[in-house]
């Protein structure tokens, strides 16, 4: 290799090291720009994929009826998701009516979004949705469906956002178990652990918790500003599949409420109404 080539290689490596020293915000900004560039391709691809899927299902109805049906379905899902939050908030409000900050708790504004693609990487569980900062989306906002929690936004571009799914090992959610005083941290399982890839683990429970299969797990809703304070209280996460006592704590395996591998329509909690 000639001396010039060696110098070129060293320069490229130094350049890469400089780029890697950028802060997380700068990197997210670059990624947002990249997302905006690939967005038309992703949206086109998503539309084609949907059309192929619809053809595969053999659904052939009149365009108008189909459109109306889609709208009603979306509206129904939105109402069901709203209802869930209303119900949870109502229950919580009745308990905390006298609390000083109860005024701050209000109904959330849901922004309907569609998953346009899924991360092609082998190690992360993320999806991309067709809503960005132009629609009012910010990073670290909860994403859910009428069935339960899906994840939270991370990088937000103009018209797209990346959503980190709750089945990812790095997504941690403060959780509580229905019918008990047990609280823990829910996260995705390590790659290859468990029978189903989307199964989650609920850690830091008490050893004597003795949770039963079928018990429901909800978000705990820790104060904003902490690492686990992204999610409002009372969002359904999943059901306990099994429980085991470990030397220091108890661990439950939780089946997610939402089928994260097939979900297509979601809602972003963009704020209070």
196 is a site residue for other proteins (CB under 8 A): no
- Closer to other proteins at the Cβ: 155 or 159? 155
Footprint on residues 17-56 left by other proteins (CB under 8 A):
17-22, 24-25, 27-28, 30-31, 34, 38, 41-42, 45-46, 49
- Minimal distance, residue 186 CB to other proteins, in Å: 15
- Closer to other proteins at the Cβ: 30 or 91? 30
Phi, psi of 227 (to 5 degrees): -65, -20
Q: Any idea what DSSP says for residue 189?
A: P
- Which has the closest alpha carbon to 34: 158, 163, 165, 164? 158
Here's the x/- map for other proteins, 101-140, by CB under 8 A: it reads as ----------------xxxxxxxx-x-x------------
Number of CB atoms found within 10 A of residue 163's CB? 29
Phi, psi of 208 (to 5 degrees): -95, 15
Rounded to whole angstroms, the Cα distance separating 271 from 83 reads 16
Here's the x/- map for other proteins, 212-231, by CB under 8 A: it reads as ---------------x----
86 is a site residue for other proteins (CB under 8 A): no
- Which has the closest alpha carbon to 137: 107, 115, 113, 116? 113
Question: Over the Cα atoms of the chain, what is R_g?
Answer: 21
Find the length of the chain. Answer: 273
Contacts with other proteins, residue ranges (CB under 8 A): 1, 5, 8-9, 12-13, 15-22, 24-25, 27-28, 30-31, 34, 38, 41-42, 45-46, 49, 117-124, 126, 128, 154-155, 164, 169-171, 190-193, 197, 227, 261
């Amino acid at each position: 290799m000639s001396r010039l080539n060696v110098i070129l290689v060293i320069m490229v490596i130094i350049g890469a090291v400089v780029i890697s020293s950028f802060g997380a915000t700068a990197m997210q900004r670059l990624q947002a720009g990249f997302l905006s560039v690939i967005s038309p391709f992703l949206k086109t691809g998503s539309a084609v994929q949907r059309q192929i899927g619809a053809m595969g299902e053999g659904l052939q109805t009149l365009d108008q009826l189909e459109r109306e049906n889609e709208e009603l379905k979306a509206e129904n899902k939105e109402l069901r998701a709203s209802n869930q939050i209303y119900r949870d908030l109502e229950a919580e409000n009745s308990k905390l009516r006298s609390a000083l900050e109860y005024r701050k708790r209000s109904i959330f504004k849901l922004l309907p979004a569609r998953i346009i693609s899924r991360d092609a990487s082998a190690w992360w569980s993320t999806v991309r949705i067709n809503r960005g900062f132009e629609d009012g989306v910010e990073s670290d906002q909860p994403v859910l469906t009428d069935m339960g929690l899906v994840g939270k936004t991370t990088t937000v571009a103009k018209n797209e956002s990346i959503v980190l799914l709750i089945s990812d090992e790095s997504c941690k959610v403060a959780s509580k178990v229905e019918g008990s005083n047990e609280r823990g941290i829910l996260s995705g399982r390590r790659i290859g652990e468990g029978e189903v890839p989307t199964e989650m683990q609920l850690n830091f429970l008490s050893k004597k918790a003795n949770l039963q299969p079928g018990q429901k797990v909800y978000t705990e809703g820790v104060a904003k500003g902490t690492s686990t304070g992204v999610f409002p209280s009372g969002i359904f996460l999943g059901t306990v599949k099994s429980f085991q006592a470990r030397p220091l704590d108890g661990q439950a395996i939780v089946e997610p409420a939402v089928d994260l591998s097939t979900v297509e329509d979601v809602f972003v909690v963009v704020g209070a109404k």
